[in-house]
Structure formats: C-alpha cells, structure tokens
Amino acid sequence: MGAAHEALAPLLVVAVDPGAELGTEPGLEPGAARLADRLALALPGGLDGPVVVAADALAALVRGLDPRQPCIYLGPAEPLVLALAPLIAAPTASRCAPIVLLTRDATAIPLLGTAAGAARLAARIVQALTAPDPAPAPVSAPAAVPADDIPGAPASAARATGRLAVVGLGPGAAGLMAPDVRAELDQAEAIIGYRTYLELAGPFRPGQRVLASDNREELARARQALALAAAGERVVVVCSGDPGVFAMAAAVLEALEQAPEPSWQALDIEMLPGISAAQAAAARAGAPLGHDFCVLSLSDNLKPWAQIARRLDHAAAADLVIALYNPRSRARPGQLQAALDLLRAHRAPTTPVVLGREVGRPGEQVLVTTLGAVRPEQVDMRTVVIIGSSQTRQFPRPGGVWVYTPRWYPRPLSEGVSEQVPEATAAPPTD
C-alpha cells in the first residue's frame, strides 16, 4: 500500500433511496450510524464521513473524489458497480485507492485498489464488525462472531474476508526479526507452525490461539491456515528464516492454487520476509556470499537424490558459492558425504567452508574449516553449510578468521586491483 493511500482515512459513503434526506449524520438510519461508530473505532487511521448520498447521485460523487481517497460504501451493489465501471475497466484499477463494498449482510468486497490494500481494508472492516464488543481490544476478540447490529444483517451471514500472513522469523534472535513480522504476530488471532518455531515467535497473549503441528505436514498445515482465514480469522503461519526459502510460503500457494473453495482466492494473503539461515551464518563469518551464490536443500523428501546430485554438480561446475540447507539427518546420514565428494571433484581442498549451527539462537556455533577437512559428523539438521567458490578467501581477525568472496570475478590475485580491472568497473556499487 502506497504511503499516499495511508494518509487519508477511509470515507464511509452510505447510499440511500433517491428522494431521501441527504447530507451527513442526520440521514443515517440507527444501524448505519452504529456501524460508522464501530468502524471509526476499529480502523487504525479512523474514518471519515459518513457521507449520505442518493443512489442515483453516486456516479457524480465518485467522479468528484480525490483519487487517493479510500472509500467504504454501504448500500446496494448495483449503483456502485455502475458508477465505478469506467474505473474498473482501466488498467490502473488495482492501484487506485481502495474501494470496498459493504453489503447489508456484512460482507466486505474489495472492488478497486487490490494492489493498494483493498483486501486488507475489507478484512479490517469485517473484523471490526464481527468483534463482539466494539470498545475493548478489538484485535484479540474472536472474529467469527455474528454482526447482529448491522442493519438488516442475518446473524449467521457475518463472514469475514480473513487475512493470512506467512512470516519469516529470521534465524531466531528477536533482534533479527523484521518489525512487520513482530506486528503481524502481535495482531494475530491464530498462529500456526512447527513447535520449535512457535517458541521463537512468542510471547503470545492469552486470547491468541497457538496451533502447533508436526513439521512434515506442510500442505495440511497450509490448508488449515487457509480455512481459518476463510472463516474470518487473522492467521499467521510462522517459518524460521525466510518463508519463501524451503518453507511454508510455497506450500500455502500450492494449497491455494488447488483450493476447493473459490472464496479462498479472495483472501488477503501476504508473505513477510525474514533473514534466511545462509544470510545469518554468512554475516557471522564475514561475507562468503559476496558474489554469485546458490542455495540447495539436501533433503530428498520432496525431490529425488539424483536431482540433488545433478544440481550440486552443476552449481560446483559453475563455481557458485553453495549454501546447503537440510544438510544431514538421521534418516539419510550418508548423503552429505556423497555431496562433499562431489564438490571435492570440482574445488580445491583449501576452499573455505562455513558451518553455522543454531545461528541467532542459544548455543550458536560458527566454525570455519575447509573442503578438505570438513567431516559430516560436524554437521546436523540445525546447521547451514556454506561452501566457498574458487575465489572465496579467509584471513585472520582477533579470535578467528574472516571469510569473504570478493565482488570481482575472477579476483586479481597478487597485483593491485586497479591494474587488472578497467576503470569503469573499478568501484562497483555496494548494495
């Protein structure tokens, strides 16, 4: 959502029959006035309006709006859709300020501005309207409570457009978790994840439901999260590191693509990134990922070993720095040895290797060794293994060594850099 959209509080537009008294508050029926009060309390930036407009004057009102003005519209759908038709057809529709249609049965439908947070606004609206008590702690209240004071709402019709965030906790240390992830966890109603990761995601408030599951049931966990969100809850799925790196974000999208329920496609879904294990371990050792690198999972749960071996072989031949995730488990003790043998066919025994274990957690160990010396027994499933390229170097620092991969390729060895590198590239931007 662009900052411009956040600057303006949503405007509540209430449509009434042509000929009814127009203006502001006086034209509102009591149900709509209560609804306006609830929204004003529950929306983070408050609420503007309400503006009461005759349904047949809606098109004129829409044309006259500031294009940055988010709107919540309460009234019959048809006149609004007709008024918005030219905007909906425009290629920029998703980037408009959000316009959400709120029907009398408490369904909030994002019509315009999907890229500008319309789905999130819709979810917030329904959350606000379905909370049992508008005054205290709207966030911790269970969301799926009927909105019985919405004008004309059948009690059972209150269904939210829920929210599902798939978040990366980073390696473990609280300071390495993105503030957006912390905020999402704080606001969640249900938090789902593998037991160990849930411990890193706390502390939780009494009202929050924490659903621990076994690590292997990823697709089932993804479906559970989607179903809860579809029921109107604010759901967070937690992953260690980054949610998109060998983790739940892809599982959620796989479940979504195969979703039995079309309503799941309308959910407000967001992936919030985290610092991945390879990045965290690399930072401890220096800058081994300073040039081109790849990440590979050695787990053969979801792909055959032959494919893993082929990728390792190509990555090694391409002289990429390689970060190995899921490097070794009790179920497949021999594979890391096989992987190391494969890499040794391409790289010198002096190639630096970084073993980062439990990085960012109590008991962290970061060891720098070499491809010739590393032994599989030094590695377990809580370790990420970084194998240098032909260019990766190490040099002493107090209490250890720095490891880095220069930004040049190939790196000029003994001579000064400027003699070997054309001026235009002598100082590449650091980013």
Contact residues toward ligand SAH (CB under 6 A) are 171-172, 239-242, 245-247, 276-277, 281, 325-327, 356-361, 381-384
Give the nearer residue to ligand SAH in terms of CB position, either 128 or 298: 298
Closest approach, Cβ 273 to ligand SAH, in A, equals: 9
DSSP one-letter string for 371-382: TTT--GGG--TT
Give the nearer residue to ligand SAH in terms of CB position, either 131 or 247: 247
Closest approach, Cβ 116 to ligand SAH, in A, equals: 29
What DSSP element (H or E) covers 122?
helix 118-130
Closest approach, Cβ 172 to ligand SAH, in A, equals: 5
Give the nearer residue to ligand SAH in terms of CB position, either 50 or 327: 327
Burial class (CB in 10 A: 0-12, 13-18, 19+), 356: buried
Closest approach, Cβ 174 to ligand SAH, in A, equals: 13
User: What's the rounded Cα separation, in Å, for the pair 256 and 226?
Assistant: 8
Give the nearer residue to ligand SAH in terms of CB position, either 365 or 420: 365
Give the nearer residue to ligand SAH in terms of CB position, either 161 or 276: 276
User: What's the rounded Cα separation, in Å, for the pair 10 and 5?
Assistant: 9
Using CB positions, name the residue nearest to ligand SAH.
241
Give the nearer residue to ligand SAH in terms of CB position, either 218 or 319: 218
Closest approach, Cβ 359 to ligand SAH, in A, equals: 4
Q: SS3 of 404, please? A: strand
Closest approach, Cβ 181 to ligand SAH, in A, equals: 13
- β-pairing, 190-194 vs 209-213, is parallel
Closest approach, Cβ 319 to ligand SAH, in A, equals: 22
Please enumerate in sequence order all residues whose Cβ is within 8 A of that of 152, keeping only pairs 6 or more positions apart, or say none.
Answer: 31, 104, 105
**Rounded alpha-carbon distances, angstroms, from residue 2 to 11, 116, 117:** 17, 6, 9
Give the nearer residue to ligand SAH in terms of CB position, either 245 or 272: 245
User: What's the rounded Cα separation, in Å, for the pair 135 and 132?
Assistant: 9
**Rounded alpha-carbon distances, angstroms, from residue 330 to 238, 324, 375:** 25, 16, 15
